[in-house]
Chain A
Amino acid sequence: MWANLWVVLLLAILGFLVIYPILMLLLGAFTDTNPVVDGIQLSHLSVTNFLVVLSNPNVAEALRNTMIVCGGGTAIAVAIGLLFSWIVVRTNTPFKGFIAAASILPLFAPPLVAGVAWAILGSPKTGLINTMFKWMGLDWRVDFYSLWGLVFVFGIYYAPYVYMFTASALRNMDPSLEEAAEISGASAFATLFSVTFPLIMPAIISGMLLSFIVMLGIYGIPAVLGSANNLAMLTTYIFKLTNWSPPLYNTAAAVAIILMVVTGALVFLQNKVISGRSYTTVAGKAFRPRSLDLGRWRWFTFALGIVYLLIVVVLPIFALIVAAFRKFMFIRDVSSLFDMRQYSMVHFDSIFDNPLTLRSIYNAVEVGVVTAVVGGVLAFAIGYTIHRTQVAGRRWIDLISTVPVAIPGLVVGVAYLWAWIGIPAGLYGTIWILALAFIARFMPDTVKALSTSFLQIHRELEEAAWVCGKGMFTTIRTIVLPLARPGVIASMTLLFVLAIRELGSSLFLYTSNTMVMSVLLLDYYEGGNLGKTAAFSLVQTVLLGVLIGGANWLSREATQSGVARTG
């Protein structure tokens, strides 16, 4: 009886957070009305929006650009992610810990910040890279305001998704198969491509699809780099539709559904690929991953790590610093770049002179904490129910909690607004509506992140507690929670970071006193002041760095005390 009640409760929460807004989105896509303004009118249902959208050559073009950019970006991400996971896990490259850290750093850069930084660096007319080339007397020019520029930036920023999956797969792989290949006379290189990579194929495919899906939903990078040449992608196209006067939400909702279908198909494909075959390489015996002695080549792999760090961290931060401290971004040549009279604190003064700045930081942190705590608890409940119980209906819970992965944030913001504005308790205008939207939107990420830590805890431990007469909740409290704590803290940190970065779904939900950082950053960007945008980007980057560092330290503490307790 209690189990049924529990399932009903979870399904009700998911219905409110996920199903109801999606129904609103579908309603928007199939009608020409605003469900809140005009009431829910099922008599107006039609597929006109879809026909309009599907017959529009510009949508086809946006879809094509999206596929090229996300496809190309994924290819680069896989190459980089795989290379670095191999370097970190399987070679004796010096300073591996440092390379490992560098490999996931881009995850923390909000896309709009990355876009702005690369516009400063890579603009064909005024970019710092071209200014440098000119100064060096080289005849090379780069143009990041192009499809290839987008492919490159997407590739380098989303490589960490591939890295995370493949690094853990390589770490958990039994090296005896590789040894067998080498004993049979295969070269190290041949072994890599005929044994190692095929064995971790599910991880490669998971990372690949995830990075592709994440790229599909990114707005900030194409918004900045694509606008000069009017390169539309689906996200920027949707944003434009909502931004025009008059706005075309219903069309935007229809385009969003197309994006959802593409994403949904990919998620389905991923599940199919992974579940179809057995890739068991983790056996019960103890082993150490082999470390390949690269000889002198290890300095080459080390240099690759440095180059990557330079490209994804050092150069963009340098660009942001220049823009943030420089009064005007008109840079005639290199000597003007280093002319210190051009630099001042004026942009920082002006952003902190604006009371909204501090408020937005405070609000963002508050929303982040609420999202992390409430979302973490909910994800724990869902993860536990899916992985540790046999209750009927858990498949549904699993399925519904995965759905938000496929919904682009820009349009779901409107759907949340439509769905939740009418709730009598007065959700609208508080930070809770933002937090709920983030919890719903990032539920798949959090549940997935938590699930791994559930899977690592052997059932015997729980069973032992039950045998000793402990109840379910006591068992969770005394056995599962302490053991899963590092995982729980890690997923809460992830949720916190994602909530602070999130832009798309915030745009319609914030009000005058719940303005958050990401929205204010877009405001600065749209307000046309690159200096302030860069200054605020730096503030945001430093803040995220400090918060993540703090969370990391916390979770390390937790891991240590956790280990102590199990020991």
Chain B
Amino acid sequence: MDRRNFTKLALAGIAGLVTAWTQPAQAQEIASPELIAAAKAEGKLVLYTANFAEVEQVVIKEFNKRFPEIKVEMVRAPGGQLITRVKTEAAAGKLIADIVDHSDRGLMLPLVDLFQDYAPPNAADYDPAALISPKLWPRLTAVWSIAYNTELVKDPPKTWMDLTKPQYDKQIGQVFAQSGGTTWTRIMFERQVLGEDYWAKQASTRPILYPSGAPMSDAMVRGEIGMGPLIYNAVYPKQKDGAPLKVVFPPEGVPANPYATGIPKTAKNVNAAKLYLNWCLSKEGQTFLIKEQGNLTSLKVVPVNPEGFDPKVVKVWYPNFDQYVKLHADWVAEWDKTFGYRQ
């Protein structure tokens, strides 16, 4: 055996050993064998989420590739309805959810006593600023972008300020402020970063208002509107399928909104719930949520960036959580007035 062959063999051996070690190590990263066994014994979990059903379905499918024995039953409702349901069920002692996953951290904070202590194995890897309580975790971190229909818009906007240009009169879509935590983050950003008069300037282009990002992105595909601010995860899957959409991450910064996700004290399938959250919050899960769905992450070390997103160029903006709670009612009311949104 000459030296080159020996080296090859040795390297192959080491590689084999490394693979053999890391595979259980990766599984360990998500959960202990005991937890996995207990979760399998439960066999299912009930997930309450404010995420869109079809988006979450893809996440569940990916989770099931890894853990096919665990059935995830989902109840999806818009933010407001979800909170009412959780409160009412909890008060009647009938909270069915094993996981509650919500986009508005401000609405989740008052419910924090309903939740049990939970932290994923990689808890230390998370940015503490994204957590409003040690019980509630940023399973998803959604990021805003400006999207446009490439068939319709030949001179696309490049900055947030471009969305105030008169040339885009009646071509812009907007999700209204009242719709939930993600949108609230954006309008906070607009006022605090782009200027006190940004709303008024934007409103003068007479945008069409939508109840949420999903129908707005669909309207953009159809050409009902040409452009507008959209959460990247509402655009990205469509873009991947070949829809005539493109996004820009404007240089003034992009607002991001971490979710708050936790396991209620009353959860019946605690182990399955832990396994699902552990997986979603793991490097593997977050990578999937970033690469396949166009989210960001609240991990301190970012495993990968969504397509078209360059962290060296784009500044991510997180809201100050105190202000996020305190300013909400007044600012949303002012926004409604500025945009002539009836409430």
Binding site for B on A (CB under 8 A): 34, 36-38, 56, 58, 61-62, 123, 125-126, 227-230, 232, 240, 242-247, 249, 327-332, 350, 354, 356, 414, 417-418, 421-422, 428-429, 507-508, 510-513, 515, 520, 523-530, 532
Q: Does B80 contact A (CB under 8 A)?
A: yes
Asked whether, in the complex, the Cβ of B223 is within 8 Å of the Cβ of A523, the reply is: no
CA distance A196 to B48 in the complex (A): 58
Q: Cβ of B243: which chain A residues have Cβ within 8 Å of it?
A: 328, 330
Q: Which residues from B are CB-within-8-Å of A230?
A: 209, 341-342
Q: Which residue of A lies closest to B56 (CB)?
A: A527
A38 CA / B88 CA spacing, docked (Å): 9
Residues of chain B from 58 to 83 with CB closer than 8 A to chain A in the complex: 73-81, 83
Q: Which of B77, B88, B184, B219 sits near A37, CB closer than 8 Å? A: B88
Tell whether, in the assembled complex, residue A512 and residue B96 are in contact, meaning their CB atoms are under 8 Å apart: yes
Residues of chain A contacted by B81 (CB below 8 angstroms): 242-243, 247, 507-508
Question: 0/1 per residue, B316-343, Cβ < 8 Å to A?
Answer: 0000000000000000000000000111
Contacts of A526 in B (CB 8 A): 52, 78, 211-212, 214-215
Decide yes or no: A246 and B83 within 8 Å by CB, A511-B75, A512-B74, A527-B53 being known contacts. yes
For the A-B complex with A249-B84, A528-B234 known, give 19 more contacts whose Cβ atoms are closer than 8 Å.
Answer: A36-B88, A36-B92, A37-B91, A61-B342, A123-B222, A240-B178, A240-B343, A243-B79, A245-B104, A247-B81, A330-B221, A356-B53, A421-B94, A428-B94, A511-B75, A512-B74, A525-B215, A529-B214, A530-B218
Q: Is A242 a contact of B84 with CB atoms below 8 Å?
A: yes
B153 to chain A, nearest CB (A): 12
A227, A331, A527: which contacts B214 (Cβ < 8 A)? A527
Interface check B213, CB cutoff 8 A: yes
Interface centre among A36, A38, A429 (most CB of B within 10 A): A36
Q: Is B151 close to A, CB under 8 A? A: yes
**Complex-state Cα separation, A7 to B96, whole angstroms:** 37
Which residues does chain A contribute within 8 Å of B242, judged by CB atoms? 327-328
The answer, among B85, B149, B178, for a CB contact under 8 Å with A245, is B178
Residues A247 and B84 in contact in the complex (CB < 8 Å), given A58-B342, A428-B94, A528-B215: yes
Instruction: Say yes or no for B224: interface residue by CB 8 A criterion.
Output: yes
Name the contact of B224 in the complex, choosing from A125, A515, A520 (C-beta under 8 A): A125
The 10 A-B pairs with the shortest beta carbon distances in the complex, nearest first, are A528-B214, A247-B80, A512-B73, A58-B342, A528-B218, A37-B91, A245-B79, A421-B92, A329-B222, A244-B178
- B200-236: CB near A (< 8 Å → 1, else 0) gives 0000000011111111111101111000000000100
Q: What's the minimum C-beta distance from A39 to chain B, rounded to whole angstroms?
A: 9
Question: How far does the Cβ of A336 sit from chain B's closest Cβ, in whole Å?
Answer: 10
Which residues in window 215-271 of B have CB below 8 A to A?
Answer: 215-219, 221-224, 234, 241-244
**Chain B residue nearest in CB terms to A533:** B218
Query: A342: shortest Cβ distance to chain B, in Å?
Result: 11
Name the B residues within 8 Å of A61 (CB-CB). Answer: 342
Q: Kindly list chain B residues whose C-beta atoms are within 8 Å of the C-beta of A38.
A: 91
User: Is B46 located at the chain interface by the 8 A CB criterion?
Assistant: yes
Whether B138 sits at the interface, judged by CB under 8 Å, is no
- Return A532 CB to nearest CB of chain B, in Å: 7
A332 to B184 alpha-carbon distance, docked (Å): 34
B315 to chain A, nearest CB (A): 27
Are B180 and A245 touching (Cβ within 8 A)? yes
B89 interface residue (CB < 8 Å to A): yes
Q: In the complex where A245-B79, A245-B104, A247-B83 touch, is A429 in contact with B96 (Cβ < 8 A)?
A: yes
Known contacts A244-B178, A245-B180, A328-B244; decide if A513 and B73 are in contact (CB<8 Å).
yes
**What is the bound-complex CA distance between A192 and B219, given in angstroms?**
48
Q: A528-B234, A529-B54, A532-B54 are in contact. Are A327 and B241 (CB under 8 A)?
A: yes
| A229, A510, A513: most-surrounded residue (chain B CB, <10 A) | A513
Contacts of A240 in B (CB 8 A): 178, 211, 343
The answer to whether B244 touches A512 (Cβ under 8 A) is no
Residue total for B at the interface (Cβ-Cβ under 8 A): 60
Specify the chain B residue showing the minimal Cβ separation from A346: B241
Q: Are A421 and B343 in contact (CB under 8 A)?
A: no
B54 near A524 with CB under 8 A, answer yes
Known: A247-B81, A429-B96. A354 touches B216 (CB 8 A): no
Most buried by A among B96, B223, B241: B223
Q: Does B120 contact A (CB under 8 A)?
A: no
Asked if B181 is at the interface of the complex by the 8 Å CB criterion, the answer is yes
Beta-carbon contact of A330 and B151 below 8 Å? yes
Q: Tell me if A330 and B244 are in contact (CB < 8 A).
A: yes
Asked whether, in the complex, the Cβ of B54 is within 8 Å of the Cβ of A34, the reply is no
**With contacts A125-B224, A330-B151, A528-B213 known, is A354 near B57, CB below 8 A?**
yes
Say whether A530 contacts B222, CB under 8 Å: yes
Determine whether the beta carbon of A244 is less than 8 Å from that of B80: yes
Residue numbers in A under 8 Å from B215 (CB-CB): 227, 525-526, 528
For B219, what are the chain A residues with a Cβ–Cβ distance below 8 Å? 228
Q: Which of B52, B96, B179, B221 contacts A328 (CB 8 A)?
A: B221
Closest residue on chain A to residue B61 by CB atoms: A353
Give every chain B residue within 8 A of A243 (Cβ-Cβ).
78-81, 179, 211
Q: Report if B112 contacts A (CB, 8 A).
A: no
Which residues of the partner chain A approach B94 to less than 8 Å between Cβ atoms?
A: 421, 428-429
Q: B107 in the interface, Cβ–Cβ < 8 Å?
A: yes
Residues in B with CB closer than 8 Å to A327 are 241-242
How near does chain A come to B266, taking the closest CB pair, in angstroms? 13
Chain B residues whose C-beta falls within 8 Å of the C-beta of A242 in the assembled complex: 80-81, 84
Chain B residues with CB under 8 A of A246: 80, 83, 107
Decide yes or no whether B291 CB sits under 8 A from chain A: no
Q: How far is the CA of A36 from the CA of B86 in the complex (A)?
A: 11
Within the complex, what minimum Cβ distance (angstroms) separates A121 from chain B?
A: 13
Residues of the B chain whose Cβ atoms lie less than 8 Å from the Cβ of A528: 52, 212-218, 234
Q: Establish whether residues A354 and B224, one from each chain, have CB atoms under 8 Å apart when the complex forms.
A: no
In whole angstroms, how far apart are the Cα atoms of A62 and B342 in the complex? Answer: 9
Task: Knowing A246-B80, A246-B107, A511-B96 are in contact, say whether A523-B73 is a contact too (CB < 8 A).
Answer: no
Contact B223 A508 (CB under 8 A): no
- Bound together, the chains give a CA A356 to CA B74 distance in angstroms of 9
> Is A126 touching B222 in the complex (CB atoms < 8 A)?
yes
Question: Is A354 in contact with B80, judged by CB distance below 8 angstroms?
Answer: no
A430–chain B nearest beta-carbon distance, Å = 11
- Find the B residue at minimum CB distance from A418: B88
Contacts of B78 in A (CB 8 A): 243, 526
| CB proximity of B43 to chain A, nearest CB, Å | 13
Docked-complex contact A245 and B88, CB < 8 angstroms: no
- Complex interface: chain A residues within 8 A of B40 (CB): none
Contacts of B244 in A (CB 8 A): 328, 330
Chain A: minimal CB distance from B163 (Å) = 19
Contact A512 B46 (CB under 8 A): yes
Cβ contacts under 8 Å, B84 to chain A: 34, 242, 247, 249, 414, 508
Chain A contacts of B343 at CB under 8 A?
A: 56, 58, 240
Most buried by A among B78, B208, B212, B341: B78
- A428 touching B211, Cβ below 8 Å: no
* In the assembled complex, B87 has its CB within 8 A of some CB on chain A: yes
A523 to B94 CA separation, bound complex (whole angstroms): 24
Q: With the chains together, A23 CA to B212 CA distance in Å?
A: 33
B341's nearest neighbour on chain A, judged by CB, is A230
Which one of B89, B221, B222 contacts A421 once the chains associate, using CB atoms below 8 Å? Answer: B89
- Collect the chain B residues with CB atoms within 8 Å of residue A350's CB: 54
Docked Cα-Cα span, A350 to B61, in Å, equals 12
Chain B residues with Cβ below 8 Å from A62 are 342
Give the chain A neighbours of B213 by CB distance below 8 A. Answer: 528
The residues of A that contact B234 with a CB separation of less than 8 Å are: 528
Q: How far, in Å, is B327 (CB) from chain A's closest CB?
A: 14
* Interfacial residues of chain B within 93-133, with CB under 8 A of chain A in the complex: 94, 96, 104, 107
**Which residues does chain B contribute within 8 Å of A229, judged by CB atoms?**
208
Q: Cβ of A249: which chain B residues have Cβ within 8 Å of it? A: 84
- Cα(A61)–Cα(B340), bound, Å: 13
Residue contacts A-B, CB under 8 angstroms, 29 given: A34-B88, A56-B343, A58-B342, A126-B224, A227-B210, A228-B219, A229-B208, A243-B179, A243-B211, A244-B80, A244-B178, A244-B179, A245-B104, A245-B107, A245-B178, A245-B180, A245-B184, A329-B222, A331-B222, A354-B57, A356-B53, A429-B94, A429-B96, A508-B85, A512-B74, A512-B75, A512-B96, A526-B78, A529-B218
